[in-house]
Amino acid sequence: MRGYFKGLGPNLVGVIPARSINFYTYGNGKKFFTELNNGKETPGVHLVSAATAGIVTSTATNPIWVVKTRLQLQPTNSTAAVRRYTNSLDCTLHILKEEGIRGLYKGMSASYLGVAEGTIQWMTYEHLKKKWIAPHHHSKHGIGGKSIEGWIGNIGAAAVAKLVAACITYPHEVIRTRLRQPAEANGIRKYTGLMQCLRLVAKEEGVSALYGGMTAHLMRVVPNAAIMFFCYEAILHTFGGDDKKEQTTTTT
């Protein structure tokens, strides 16, 4: 059973800063780019803000995901002596010693490719939120001054936005994981770059391999996005000031 939870430590450590950086950068970026656009919040503003948030988040948290991937890929054995990495700290020190600081940034090119996923997600979410939430935003009989339909629309918009974005951009997940794999026993790396990895996987395993594990991925990220966006909107709506409550229809 422990095999299903390999890499959980760095994953939990990574989620908090990653989500915090992403939401903070997107919200403030949207405010900044809206001002540059003469106060008009357009889809273009959403696109640039989401791309900026994705780049900043990927750069800041890539080392965490490298460590998580290494821990998940190593075989499970009953004896600690057989394992290459005993924990997250040990894995980080091994990478720095054997590969240098660059080793913590393996898969960065694929991560930047994955910025498209976050961009599509944010743009879709903003669009659906205006259509599904605005008509039912306020209600005396709802929760926290917001109708049940409004909250359901919030969850639905987040889930659909993540589903669409993940389906369109999923191959980058496979490429990124392959690039983060440790070198083989002879010290040679099978995957050395974004395009080389893409061509090699397609050649050896077929194009379908670029979508391997997508079902399990969607089962994880879609509910995750729905819960995460719902919690953010609920906290902002409940504890924010009047100006922040107004922003919950346009800002996340």
Domain positions in the chain: 2-247
**Predicted confidence (pLDDT) per residue in 111-150, tens digit:** 787 788 889 999 999 889 888 765 545 554 555 556 777 7
State the average pLDDT over residues 199-220. 91
The total number of residues written for the chain in this structure: 252
Banded pLDDT at 243 (limits 50, 70, 90) = very low
Buried b (16+ CB within 10 A) or exposed e, 212-225: beeeebeeebbeeb
Is the model's pLDDT at 238 over the cut of 80? Answer: no
Structure-block tokens of residue 147: 């109708």
Q: Please answer whether residues 179 and 191 qualify as being in contact, where contact means their C-beta atoms are separated by less than 8 angstroms.
A: yes
Structure-block tokens of residue 165: 């974005």
State the average pLDDT over residues 48-72. 89
Is the model's pLDDT at 214 over the cut of 80? Answer: yes
User: 146: which strand partners?
Assistant: 138
User: 138: which strand partners?
Assistant: 146
pLDDT on residue 88? 82
Statement: 2-247 belongs to CATH 1.50.40.10:
yes
Identity of the highest mean pLDDT range in 5-9, 157-161, 173-177: 157-161
Is the model's pLDDT at 178 over the cut of 90? Answer: no
**Amino acid at the residue 115:** V
Q: What is the residue-averaged pLDDT of the chain?
A: 82
CA distance 94 to 83: 12
pTM of this prediction?
0.71
Is the model's pLDDT at 15 over the cut of 70? Answer: yes
% residues pLDDT > 90 (the chain): 31
Structure-block tokens of residue 195: 């395009």
CA distance 38 to 68: 43
State the average pLDDT over residues 32-59. 92
Least confident of 84-93, 101-110, 141-150, 211-220: 141-150
* DSSP 8-state class, residue 240: S
pLDDT on residue 138? 52
Neighbours of 39 (CB within 10 A): 7
Is the model's pLDDT at 110 over the cut of 80? Answer: no
Q: Please answer whether residues 88 and 9 qualify as being in contact, where contact means their C-beta atoms are separated by less than 8 angstroms.
A: yes
pLDDT on residue 53? 94
pLDDT on residue 47? 92
Residue 164: name the closest of 112, 110, 225, 104 by CA: 225
pLDDT on residue 144? 54
Is the model's pLDDT at 245 over the cut of 50? Answer: no
Banded pLDDT at 246 (limits 50, 70, 90) = very low
In the chain the first and final C-alpha atoms are separated, in Å, by 36
State the average pLDDT over residues 225-252. 66
Banded pLDDT at 244 (limits 50, 70, 90) = very low
User: 143: which strand partners?
Assistant: 146
Buried b (16+ CB within 10 A) or exposed e, 162-196: bbbbbeebbbbbbbbbbbbbbeeeeeeeebeebee
